[in-house]
């Protein structure tokens, strides 16, 4: 199976020195890519700026910085993929104007005008052809399941992994995660809290192989 995965954060420049980003470490996406390679799949990983080494055995590794670059690459790679897993934490907003020079510190506050970036998940969901699988993540601080199910439907996902962030020892930057999988057909699979490497292996086995609740033993 040809699998396309994105991972990590994006950086949206304010000026040549400063940028807007988020706490994504890329560990979950990289673990998924490594697990997919281990399972014998042909894997392309598209990554934002992280401090991780690309997993061995990838078909292709593509490094990007901004949300616009991520969108361009994902739209180009998506038609060739049998399964796409959206694990990157792509910025929803970017500065409307990027200063050519470093902004100087002045008295008082500073207001930045932001504009929306492209909704990559929505775009790919509309591009999805019959037979393609599209999975994503819902990293939420509250109403995790409700927000995940809403995103599952709106983005035309086949699977979504709901995980709570902002709690110690799980989610962004951590080696562990707490994941519950929801499928478009109504299947729900609680994978619990586990190392991201082990969760990734289970997720690849479930999503890529089409295993149901009974087959995975949950």
Active site residues: 22
139: burial class by Cβ within 10 Å (0-12, 13-18, 19+)? buried
| Cβ atoms of residues 112 and 186 within 8 Å | no
DSSP conformational letter for 174 = -
From 87, 82, 85, 86, select the one nearest 42 (Cα to Cα): 82
> 145: left (phi > 0), else alpha (psi -120 to 50), else beta?
alpha
Give the three-state DSSP class for 159: strand
């Amino acid at each position: 199976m040809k699998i396309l995965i994105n991972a990590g954060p994006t950086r949206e420049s304010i000026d040549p020195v400063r940028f807007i980003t988020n706490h994504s470490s890329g560990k979950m996406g990289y673990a998924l890519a490594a697990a997919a390679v281990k399972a014998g799949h042909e894997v392309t990983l598209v990554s934002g700026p992280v401090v991780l080494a690309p997993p061995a055995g990838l078909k292709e590794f593509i490094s990007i910085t901004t949300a616009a670059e991520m969108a361009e690459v994902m739209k180009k790679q998506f038609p060739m993929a049998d399964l796409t897993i959206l694990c990157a934490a792509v910025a929803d907003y970017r500065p409307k104007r990027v200063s050519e020079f470093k902004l100087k510190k002045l008295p008082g506050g500073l207001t930045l005008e932001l504009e929306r970036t492209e909704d990559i998940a929505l775009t790919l969901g509309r591009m999805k052809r019959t037979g393609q699988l599209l999975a994503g993540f819902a990293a939420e601080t509250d109403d995790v399941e409700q927000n995940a199910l809403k995103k599952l439907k709106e983005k035309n996902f086949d699977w979504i992994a709901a995980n709570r962030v902002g709690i110690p020892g799980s989610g962004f930057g951590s080696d562990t995660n707490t994941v519950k999988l929801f499928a478009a057909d109504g299947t729900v699979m609680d994978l619990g809290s586990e190392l991201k490497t082990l969760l990734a292996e289970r997720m690849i086995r479930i999503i890529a192989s089409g295993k149901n609740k009974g087959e995975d033993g949950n």
